[in-house]
Structure 1
Amino acid sequence: MDLSFTPEEEAFRAEVRAFMADDLSPETAAKVREGRTLSKRDMEDYHAALYARGWLAPSWPAAYGGAGWTPVQKHIFDEEAARASAPRLVPFGIAMLAPVLFKFGTQEQRDYYLPRILDGTDWWCQGYSEPGAGSDLAGLKTRAVRDGDHYIVNGQKTWTTLGQHADWIFCLVRTKADGKPQEGISFLLIDMKTPGVEVRPIRLIEGGHEVNEVFLTDVRVPVGNLVGGENQGWTIAKYLLTHERNNIAGVGFSTQAFESLLTHARHPRRSGRRLIDDPLFAARLARIEVDLEAMKITNLRLVVAGQSAGAPGVESSILKIKGVEVRQALNDLARRALGPAAAPFPSEDLDGNAAIVPADQAGNAAEYFNNRKMSIYGGSNEIQKNILAKAMLGL
């Protein structure tokens, strides 16, 4: 496998760096770098800048506004975006719903929803998990009962990321009660402004409001909002989750976090010593670096394989597992590197007290606590190991 980049790919890297220098808001980049909360406007502005450049949807067909990138270009872009402290794009419309619509949606659904995702008209969220139905997603209880040209939906979704900003939610709902649980699930698109939809915030351990509960009470959803056939939602759900797991890996963000930690470790402390000279710390950092480099190669290999196959395969579970393990290991080592300065104060509380902790490490404690959830969402790491054991090892 040739791991060197071609002159054309290096030229593309330079183009991405120029874009980040010219079009990424310095204020937004500072928020990302310091672990501060991004506003909806921050995320929308970055979305709009990428849309104007034609870079918002690298994996979409060109006929629908896709960028037409190779997997290597996508890899390079992710690296440079993370290095520039660009926000992570909200994935629910661009990277999760869109692939579902391309494969399972009607032409009418593609023509209506895809342009609105691209230009930012609609902000989407995901309605999968429920109380009692997280990793065991087939246990979901939200019901959709056919009533003429509509479904009447009743139930509750939880851990709905950024649902407080969303215009639409794609939901798994139960449309058949008998038979195997997986055989009675359908995939519905629901307008969040429909009467009966209520969003309640969930405050996380670090104090942030990122996730929500969504209550659905006698919500009327047009039958035309059904994606795929009735009771085919489990097949669609599995297809969507392969795309979500690829996004969770976050190779570029882990690379940036590693470089930031390495810079911190090389800087002399008040004692005059450097963390990088501590044998135990250096050994832990080296282990993470080895895992990260291996993950980069695996990411490139699987993305290329996924492109030729038309969709990510079960190997995406490998990326999900290792991506989470590397990210959490980085969070843990960065927290240890800061010592008492890693006390879980929101970075906003440190304004004017930058001497307490480096600006790019101010949000470390909040990130450490927040990222504990990464090994659970998108299918827990234990579930991913079961998938790999069954699909690849035949166990």
Structure 2
Amino acid sequence: MDFAFDAADEEFRARAREWLEARLGAGGAFSDLRGAKVPEDAERRRAWERELGAGGWIGLGWPDDSLTRQVVWFEEYARAQAPDPLGIVGEQLLAPTLLAHGTAEQRERYLPGIASGGTIWCQGYSEPDAGSDLAGVRTSAVPAEDGSGDWLVSGQKTWTSLSQWADWCFVLARTEPGSQRHAGLSLLLLPMDQPGPNGARIEVRPIRQLNGVSEFSEVFFDQARAVDVLGAVGDGWRIAMTLLSFERGAGMLGRQIGYARELDAVLRAAALTGADRDPVLREALTRQWADLQVMRANALRTLGTAEPATAAVAKLVWANWHQRLGELAVQVQGLPGAFAGGRAHQVDGYPLTSAQHTLLFSRADTIYGGSDQIQRNIIAERVLGLPRG
């Protein structure tokens, strides 16, 4: 696409930058959240979501703002080292799907809470035996017998990001008994607070990651009550695929600003330790820089494209790039890179450096959001036309 920022976009950029600096800069009301990744203080992060909502910064693409304006906001948000938003699942995944497939009543019911920053959503997709192979989900739902039109959901989801802080969850469940694979699935909407009647229960068990944090969880549903269906009953696979196509849109360009900052830190460390004088390491660092430029150009070229294969290519590129960066971040430190010494991150009292934190976190990049193997299958089948299996 012909992508360029015009004068109005740059005016918008200045306004966004000023707003973020006033709140996250020195003396700002949210300066303590600058650079925050894990929502350890959930109430502070919820307050930040509400601040974003009050400022009108949530839902810039619903649906009238230009793609360039969305890109500007994500870039400035990343440059300001603003905290990873708690509301990202609702804003960037559910809301566009509601606009595409929801009823007028559903949009009126759910969008205001997301836009205000007051309602946090999580995504109930992956299961222990159906991670990247999403069509294998076994979580089931049956109609409630009280005539309410609700559904009773039972099963287990895993790798459910932000679920311990979420107010609502959209769940891919099997609503047609005996159905298999893509058939008989529905996308159900349910509140997470359910110590409700008739034994309805949702249990959230945080999963501890290699870097010591727990930003996602296992979620167990026991006759949990879903109060809405997004799209038609049985059409959940198509709705779910639409939702996933929104996962790698304009926000990916903001992610790359963060990647550029991480790469700059590695380059500075290499210069400090003398690692940049090693021709092998210097070549690897140069390639990492060049690949980041290609990643950005490809993201701009495909912006607004909903084709799953395009998203698969992007996922393969950035996941592997970030893993290589994590390895380089520790490698350029030399022997000290293997020892404790950081203050920003602690795992059982062991102080991790930022480089060590990046290395450990990036191990998951090629798994979550669809593993590398699944992305290659999508490309093989939908672009190259190769046979399944």
Deviations 1:157-214 (A, max 9, x none): 1111111111111101111133442101110011111231111121112221111111
Q: 1:226-305 residue pairs with structure 2 within 5 A?
A: 226-246=229-249, 247=251, 250-266=255-271, 268-269=272-273, 274-303=274-303, 305=304
Structure 1's 262 and 5: CA in aligned 2 closer, same or farther, altered over 3 A?
Answer: farther
CA distance in 2, matches of 1:202, 1:168: 19
Name the stretch that deviates more: 91-100 or 197-206.
197-206
Normalising to structure 1: TM-score of the pair?
A: 0.84
Task: Give yes or no for the alignment of 1:137 onto 2:134.
Answer: yes
Aligned length: 365
Name the stretch that deviates more: 323-332 or 93-102.
323-332
Provide structure 1 residue ranges, at least 5 long, that are not aligned to the other structure: 63-67, 351-356
Cα deviation, residue 121, structure 1:
2.1
Q: Paired residue for 1:319?
A: 314
Structure 1's 248 and 377: CA in aligned 2 closer, same or farther, altered over 3 A?
Answer: farther
- Per the alignment, in what secondary structure is the counterpart of residue 135 of structure 1? coil
- Per the alignment, in what secondary structure is the counterpart of residue 21 of structure 1? helix
Structure 1's 130 and 254: CA in aligned 2 closer, same or farther, altered over 3 A?
Answer: same
Task: Give yes or no for the alignment of 1:107 onto 2:117.
Answer: no
Q: Paired residue for 2:52?
A: 50
Query: Counterpart of 1:26 in structure 2: which amino acid?
Result: S
Name the stretch that deviates more: 285-294 or 235-244.
235-244
Structure 1's 150 and 99: CA in aligned 2 closer, same or farther, altered over 3 A?
Answer: same
CA contact 2:90–2:120 (8 Å) conserved in 1: yes
Q: Paired residue for 1:354?
A: none
CA contact 1:248–1:324 (8 Å) conserved in 2: no
CA distance in 1, matches of 2:3, 2:94: 32
Structure 1's 292 and 103: CA in aligned 2 closer, same or farther, altered over 3 A?
Answer: same
- Per the alignment, in what secondary structure is the counterpart of residue 338 of structure 1? coil
Cα deviation, residue 349, structure 1:
6.4
Structure 1's 259 and 79: CA in aligned 2 closer, same or farther, altered over 3 A?
Answer: farther
CA distance in 2, matches of 1:2, 1:190: 41
Task: Give yes or no for the alignment of 1:26 onto 2:31.
Answer: yes
CA contact 2:16–2:73 (8 Å) conserved in 1: yes
Please point out which of 377, 383, 389 is paired with 1:392.
383
- Per the alignment, in what secondary structure is the counterpart of residue 214 of structure 1? strand
CA distance in 1, matches of 2:270, 2:15: 31
CA distance in 2, matches of 1:244, 1:391: 19
Structure 1's 135 and 248: CA in aligned 2 closer, same or farther, altered over 3 A?
Answer: farther
Structure 1's 30 and 88: CA in aligned 2 closer, same or farther, altered over 3 A?
Answer: closer
Q: Paired residue for 2:370?
A: 379
Cα deviation, residue 345, structure 1:
6.7
Q: Paired residue for 2:27?
A: none
- Per the alignment, in what secondary structure is the counterpart of residue 138 of structure 2? coil
CA distance in 1, matches of 2:341, 2:223: 42
Name the stretch that deviates more: 70-79 or 182-191.
70-79
Deviations 1:125-180 (A, max 9, x none): 11111111101111111110123433221111111111111111110111113344
Cα deviation, residue 326, structure 1:
1.6
CA contact 1:243–1:312 (8 Å) conserved in 2: no
Cα deviation, residue 248, structure 1:
6.1
Q: Which of the two has greater helix per residue? A: 1
Deviations 1:59-91 (A, max 9, x none): 1125xxxxx2x3233333333322221122232
Task: Give yes or no for the alignment of 1:363 onto 2:354.
Answer: yes
Structure 1's 325 and 237: CA in aligned 2 closer, same or farther, altered over 3 A?
Answer: same
Query: Counterpart of 2:369 in structure 1: which amino acid?
Result: G
CA distance in 2, matches of 1:162, 1:295: 27
Deviations 1:99-135 (A, max 9, x none): 1111111111110100001112211111111111101
CA distance in 1, matches of 2:71, 2:118: 27
CA distance in 1, matches of 2:10, 2:278: 36
Query: Counterpart of 1:392 in structure 2: which amino acid?
Result: V
CA contact 1:75–1:300 (8 Å) conserved in 2: no
- Per the alignment, in what secondary structure is the counterpart of residue 121 of structure 1? coil
Q: Paired residue for 1:205?
A: 210
Please point out which of 327, 331, 338 is paired with 2:333.
338
Normalising to structure 2: TM-score of the pair?
A: 0.86
Task: Give yes or no for the alignment of 1:147 onto 2:152.
Answer: no
Structure 1's 3 and 338: CA in aligned 2 closer, same or farther, altered over 3 A?
Answer: farther
Structure 1's 345 and 380: CA in aligned 2 closer, same or farther, altered over 3 A?
Answer: farther
CA contact 1:129–1:158 (8 Å) conserved in 2: yes
CA distance in 2, matches of 1:258, 1:210: 24
Q: Paired residue for 1:16?
A: 16
RMSD: 2.5
Structure 1's 345 and 207: CA in aligned 2 closer, same or farther, altered over 3 A?
Answer: farther
Query: Counterpart of 2:43 in structure 1: which amino acid?
Result: R
